[in-house]
Homo-oligomer: A and B are copies of this chain.
Amino acid sequence: MSDVSAPLLALFSDFGVGGPYVGQVMAAWAAAAPAIPKIELFSGAPAFDVEAGAHLLFAYSRTLPEGSVVEAVVDPGVGGPRAAVVVRADGLWFCGPDNGLFGVVVGRAQSCAAWRVEWRPEVLSQTFHGRDLFAPVAAHIAREGAPPQPCAATDPQRLIGDVSDPAARVILVDGFGNLVTGIPSFMVEHRCKIGIAGSRVGFAPRFGECPPGTPFWYENANGLIEIAVNRGSAAKHFDACAGTSVRVIT
């Protein structure tokens, strides 16, 4: 099979799948960068949870084609004084709010650069920078290969904020009720157990090796430790949600 690749515009947010926000960003992109392929990478990041977003953003952007531009928005302080930033990390571009959302991307990057974006659109709403500011910035980068002017280089390490890495907690409950944690799987040996809600969960390489109804942990396809119940919901089993603490038991 031949290997081809095209850079994408990808949207990562806590906008929610039911909300009207994703469509408006897509419309802004379609107007500003008609020739660039566009995807809704993920819209279900836990609302207002910058730390969870930071880990999910790293996990879900790893397989994007080189040169892709990710607009990332988990922005509880929208309209406040936080800056707009652009990050280039290991061949991918990111843009969004300077609130720690790029903390894991920056902290794990082999090579990294960052800019504070001073450019502003003619019309900027108070509450939807995802459409009015970050969307045209992302489209500009996708078209031109650089952030729009004026912008100023800044120290990427400054963007890490107070995001914890690893994050010993649930950062996402997926549609099957699986519990995604903020612990990279390369950090944990298979003999370890994961503690959650007073229980200890052992490792299994895949769903089919556990009897239905049994909880286990595994390395998910995005490099994170995930707790699941074969043909069931781990969220219901443990009454867990984004924020529930977990710990590695060595």
Contacts and interface: CB of A to CB of B under 8 A. Distances in A.
Given A20-B41, A21-B174, 9 more contacts: A8-B27, A16-B174, A20-B60, A23-B41, A24-B41, A26-B41, A31-B65, A48-B231, A77-B207
A127 B220 contact: yes
A206 B78 contact: yes
Given A6-B30, A6-B34, A76-B231, A60 B208 contact: no
Contacts of A125: 220-221
Contacts of A4: 31-34
Nearest to A129: B221
Interface in A1-56: 1-6, 8, 10, 15-24, 26-28, 30-34, 37, 39-42, 44, 47-48, 56
Interface string A128-160: 100110001000100100001000000000000
Contacts of A80: 206-208
Given A39-B30, A40-B26, A77-B207, A56 B6 contact: no
Contacts of A27: 8, 10, 39, 41, 63-65
Interface in A168-215: 172, 174-176, 205-209
Nearest to A45: B20
A40 B18 CA distance: 11
From A21, A24, A65, A148, name the one whose CB has the most chain B CB atoms within 10 angstroms. Answer: A24
A40 B131 CA distance: 15
Contact of A206 (B42, B127, B172): B127
A176 B23 contact: no
Contacts of A93: none
17 contacts: A2-B143, A18-B175, A20-B56, A20-B60, A20-B222, A21-B175, A22-B40, A23-B39, A26-B39, A26-B40, A30-B65, A31-B64, A77-B208, A79-B209, A127-B207, A127-B220, A128-B221
A206 B79 contact: yes
A212 to B, nearest CB: 9
